[in-house]
């Protein structure tokens, strides 16, 4: 029998999830159906219940429903609990299991696909919103030498710092405001833009001195080409520029494996969806 999965969001017309998951299914020989659902604002629970009643096995969750999915779940993983948001659900045994694979997918793209291990490196994370929150635990598990969280609103960065400090281990974990970056006198091996600035064609207020020559500059937004952030990094001598297409595909692969117990190959899909950084 064909198992049913879906992605829910609003708007949802732009989603790549059906293409990604149906390609994964063909590649791994899985008999699934995968659709996109545009949920009404405030109507997440009703849409999820209707999908479950129709035999749905699991859902991906995108904006603006990740907090709704968090509240809807009956069983949250530690990663989902700490992220405070959910991007994947699994329905089984009358329960709603929930996970957040965004930060896991991001970390896997950086470490495995791009070949930039975090262990022992200096990492700068720009932003303290939902994307940064989801990345905290996976990043700290990689044991970087230093992880600095910077945000316009320092109180938000402090909140994340206080929440995740117990997981820092030997990592030199800290936070600051953008103007204080110069006081650190540190260049970073990886600079990751988890702000929404690039979605508006804007540049986060970061200076060129944070980029260590030969570093990785990673833009979570994808399909935007050479964003102002990536252009700044390029001019500062970054060796590798990357956008979030690998994160998109890797988090989908994590959900697919969680649902189907088989790991798809991600490289072909990443290549299919990649937009040149020009």
CA-based torsion, 156, 136, 12, 60: positive or negative: negative
Domain 3-100 top-level CATH class:
alpha beta
List the catalytic residue out of 4, 66, 90, 121. Answer: 66
pLDDT of residue 215: 98
Same fold, 3-100 and 103-245: yes
Q: pLDDT band at 259, cuts 50/70/90?
A: very high
pLDDT of residue 184: 86
CA 19/CA 272 separation, integer angstroms: 10
Beta bridge partners, 89, equal 59, 98
Q: pLDDT band at 58, cuts 50/70/90?
A: very high
CA 212/CA 214 separation, integer angstroms: 6
Q: pLDDT band at 263, cuts 50/70/90?
A: very high
pLDDT of residue 183: 85
Domain extents for the chain?
A: 3-100, 103-245
pLDDT of residue 276: 92
Angle separating helix axes 154-164 and 130-141, nearest 10 degrees = 40
| pTM attached to this predicted model | 0.96
Mean pLDDT for 61-66 is: 96
* CATH no. for 103-245: 3.40.50.720
* 2-53 pLDDT tens trace: 999 999 999 999 999 999 999 999 999 999 999 999 999 999 999 999 999 9
pLDDT of residue 198: 86
DSSP per-residue letters across 8-67: EESS-TT--HHHHHHHHHHHHT--EEEEEEEPPTT-HHHHHHHHHHTTEEEEEE-TT-HH
* 90: annotated active-site residue: no
* 189-217 pLDDT tens trace: 999 999 998 888 899 999 999 999 999 99
């Amino acid at each position: 029998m064909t198992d049913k999965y879906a992605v829910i969001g609003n708007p949802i017309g732009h989603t790549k999830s059906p293409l990604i998951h149906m390609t994964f299914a063909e590649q791994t020989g899985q008999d699934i159906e995968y659709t996109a659902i545009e949920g009404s604002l405030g109507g997440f629970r009703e849409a999820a219940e209707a999908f479950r009643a129709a035999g749905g096995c699991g859902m991906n969750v995108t904006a603006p429903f990740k907090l709704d999915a968090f509240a809807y779940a009956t069983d949250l993983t530690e990663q989902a609990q700490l992220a405070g948001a959910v991007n994947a659900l699994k329905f089984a045994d009358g329960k709603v299991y929930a996970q957040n694979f965004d930060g896991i997918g991001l970390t896997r793209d950086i470490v495995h696909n791009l070949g930039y291990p975090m262990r022992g490196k200096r990492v700068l994370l720009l932003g303290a919103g939902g994307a940064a929150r989801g990345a905290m635990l996976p990043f700290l598990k990689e044991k970087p030498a230093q992880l600095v969280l910077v945000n316009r609103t320092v109180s938000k960065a402090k909140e994340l710092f206080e929440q995740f400090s117990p997981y820092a281990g030997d990592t030199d974990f800290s936070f600051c405001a953008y103007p204080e970056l110069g006081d650190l006198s540190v260049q970073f091996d990886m600079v990751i833009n988890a702000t929404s600035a690039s979605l508006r064609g804007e540049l986060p207020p970061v200076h060129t001195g944070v980029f260590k020559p030969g570093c990785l500059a990673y833009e979570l937004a994808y399909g935007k080409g050479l964003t102002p952030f990536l252009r700044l990094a390029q001019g500062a001598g970054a060796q590798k520029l990357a956008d979030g297409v690998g994160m998109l595909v890797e988090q989908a692969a994590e959900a697919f494996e969680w649902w189907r117990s088989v790991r798809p190959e991600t490289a072909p899909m990443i290549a299919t969806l990649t937009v040149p950084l020009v």
